[in-house]
Amino acid sequence: MALREEVARVADQLGRGLKILVGKPGLDGHSNGAEQIAVRARDAGMEVVYEGIRLTPAQIARSAVDEGVHVIGLSILSGSHRELIPDVLDALREAGGAEIPVVVGGIIPEADAEPLRTAGVAAVYTPKDFELTRILRDVVALVAERNGIATAA
Amino acid sequence: MSGGDEARAAAAAAELGARLRERDLGAAPTALNLLENRSPARRGEIAALLAEVAPGRLGGEAPAHVVGVTGPPGAGKSTLLSALVRVWRERGRSVGVLAVDPSSKRSGGALLGDRARIDADPTDRGVFIRSMAAGERLGGLAPATRAAAQALAAAFDVVVVETVGVGQSETEVAEAADTVAVVVQPGSGDVLQFLKAGIMEVPDVLVVTKADLGAVADRAVRDLRAALRSLGDGAPVVAVSSIQPVAGVEALADALDEHRARLDLHTARTRARRLGALADYVAEHGERGLRALGGRRAAERFLAEQDAAREGPALVRALEARAAEPR
């Protein structure tokens, strides 16, 4: 099934638009990747809250809860993912958004991916994952799974 | 859902509404998640929530000042809001912002970018910002925006509805808000342009942004005042600079307050509820539904006879019952 149709199907089941927060935590202004994801997600039919750059974990957590997003996508190229991403997960728990899945992409060495997943990140994308459509397909499947929506036949 | 589940869900929704009525700001995100739900199965819950924040339950109109902020893309609406929110917080008011951005006609998706510009303290519970996609509905408002504004108005001191508007689509925000501020950026047209554009038909306050630009901003203020004189309209024009050095934002907050103080709130809100119900009815039943009521005028006359305190979903049901009556 085409990605756009799958997004529409999941949104229909959710009852409202499939909403994703895209942002960059920490001191990292390289926003190309995040913008690419944001635009492609919009083109696939998602409601994208683009939160921008240099965000604190508290900002991300508060926005995700207030906005009622179904998933959070973080882009990080600064190398501080081992500190910042667990901080985001903590802040999310504190803000009452523990159930919102977080996916992370960026300059993340393979060796760091597993610890991030163990910490609670739903998916980690390294520079080897450059196929945007595949990443977005995963994101839609993740939202479907977390909301008890059956996968497309 | 079984009958028991449905009753439980409705009770939970009513509880959310009651929390808002008791000014529990933490109930806002969950309430909005429900109000944005378009599934027919959730309509009962939405009605249950809204009934709790209707004037009948509140003992009068919701206390908030509902402010509409509209203007063309790039005029500086969200930067202005960032500065306005700060002023309102300094004045001890809680603020709920509904930032409506357009949806793509092609994909149905939306890029909601206001959040990146409205700079608020994440630990401040007195500020709530929610981005909404406008969806397919023409006129600048998301389908759930009116209901969301109504619900937030029970809990917050100020509720802002921010929309992109370029001339014809501002009327919906004017119907939903107590006070409408239209944002104009310098260099965007002469007097004739302002007279021509439908934009001059809705503002209660006109805001010229980017006042730091100097002469070109002064010119825009003069042109707007001249256009307003030609129209015999007394709306104030306020020039603001939302970035450093910040200027005019306090004066704008005052101008908004002055408009609200002069407003007959009950009449304005009653009108908003009725027009909102009619818009919801038309979105659901289309032109054919409107004809079943004998046309828009007849529908408005029918609504004018309804109890002034009735909330949106009840009015929509009344319209539906009316359309089903044999004629």
Residues of chain A contacting residue B110, judged by C-beta atoms under 8 Å apart: 17, 42, 47-48
In a domain? residue A151: no
A65 → chain B, closest CA residue: B29
Cα separation, A143 vs B19, in Å, equals 28
- Residue in A41, A46, A50 closest to B113 by CB: A50
Give the C-alpha distances (Å, rounded to integers) separating A109 from A18, A31, A43, A103.
30, 19, 29, 15
In a domain? residue A36: yes
Residues of chain B contacting residue A44, judged by C-beta atoms under 8 Å apart: 107, 109
For B27-82, write each residue's pLDDT tens digit. Answer: 999 999 999 999 999 999 999 999 999 998 999 999 999 999 988 888 899 999 99
Retrieve residue A87's tokens.
Answer: 């901080």
- Minimum distance, in Å, between the CA of residue A75 and any CA atom of chain B: 15
CA angle in degrees (0–180, nearest 5) for B278-B280-B283: 110
Number of domains, chain A: 1
Nearest to B129 by CA among A7, A123, A69: A69
A92 → chain B, closest CA residue: B122
Retrieve residue B144's tokens.
Answer: 């759930």
Q: Is A111 exposed, middle or buried (0-12, 13-18, 19+ CB in 10 A)?
A: exposed
- Residue in A15, A45, A67 closest to B107 by CB: A45
Q: What is the ipTM of this complex?
A: 0.93
Cα A59 → chain centroid = 15
Looking at residue B112, what is its pLDDT? 87
B116 → chain A, closest CA residue: A51
Cα separation, B109 vs A37, in Å, equals 13
Q: DSSP secondary-structure letter at B26? A: G
In a domain? residue A74: yes
**DSSP symbols for B194-255:** HHHSGGGGS-SEEEE--GGGTHHHHHHHHHHHHHHHHHT----EEE-B-SSSPBSHHHHHHH
**CATH code, A22:** 3.40.50.280
A59 → chain B, closest CA residue: B122
CB contact under 8 A, A58 and B131: no
Give the CATH class of B65-262.
alpha beta
Task: Express as a percent the part of chain B with pLDDT over 70.
Answer: 92
- Which of B131, B145, B160 would best serve as a mutation to test chain A binding (most A beta carbons within 10 A)? B131
For B220-269, write each residue's pLDDT tens digit. Answer: 999 888 888 888 888 899 999 988 888 999 999 999 999 999 999 999 99
Domain ranges within chain B, ordered by starting residue: 1-58, 65-262, 264-327
Tens digit of each residue's pLDDT, chain A (153 residues): 799 999 999 999 999 999 999 999 999 888 998 999 999 999 999 999 999 899 999 999 999 999 999 999 999 999 999 999 999 999 999 999 999 999 999 999 999 999 999 999 999 999 999 899 999 999 999 999 999 999 765
Residue with tokens 């309804």: B306
Retrieve residue B72's tokens.
Answer: 């063309």
Q: Domain limits at A32?
A: 3-146
Cβ atoms of residues B126 and B94 within 8 Å: yes
- Minimum distance, in Å, between the CA of residue A110 and any CA atom of chain B: 30
Cα separation, A101 vs A64, in Å, equals 10
In a domain? residue A153: no
Cα separation, A128 vs A47, in Å, equals 26
CB contact under 8 A, B104 and A61: no
For B287-320, write each residue's pLDDT tens digit. Answer: 999 999 999 999 999 999 999 888 888 899 999 9
- Residue in A8, A16, A66 closest to B130 by CB: A66
For B95-111, write each residue's pLDDT tens digit. Answer: 999 999 888 777 778 88
Half-sphere exposure of A140 (CA within 13 A, CB side): 30
Three-state helix/strand/coil letters over B258-283 = HHHHHCCHHHHHHHHHHHHHHHHHHH
Cα separation, B251 vs B258, in Å, equals 10
Cα separation, A96 vs A22, in Å, equals 19
Give the C-alpha distances (Å, rounded to integers) separating B308 from A39, B61, B109, B273.
44, 11, 37, 9
- Minimum distance, in Å, between the CA of residue A15 and any CA atom of chain B: 5
Residues of chain A contacting residue B42, judged by C-beta atoms under 8 Å apart: 15
Residues of chain A contacting residue B112, judged by C-beta atoms under 8 Å apart: 47-50
In a domain? residue A7: yes
CB contact under 8 A, B109 and A56: no
Residue with tokens 């589940």: B5
CB contact under 8 A, A4 and B107: yes
Cα separation, A29 vs B122, in Å, equals 20
Residue with tokens 């509409």: B68
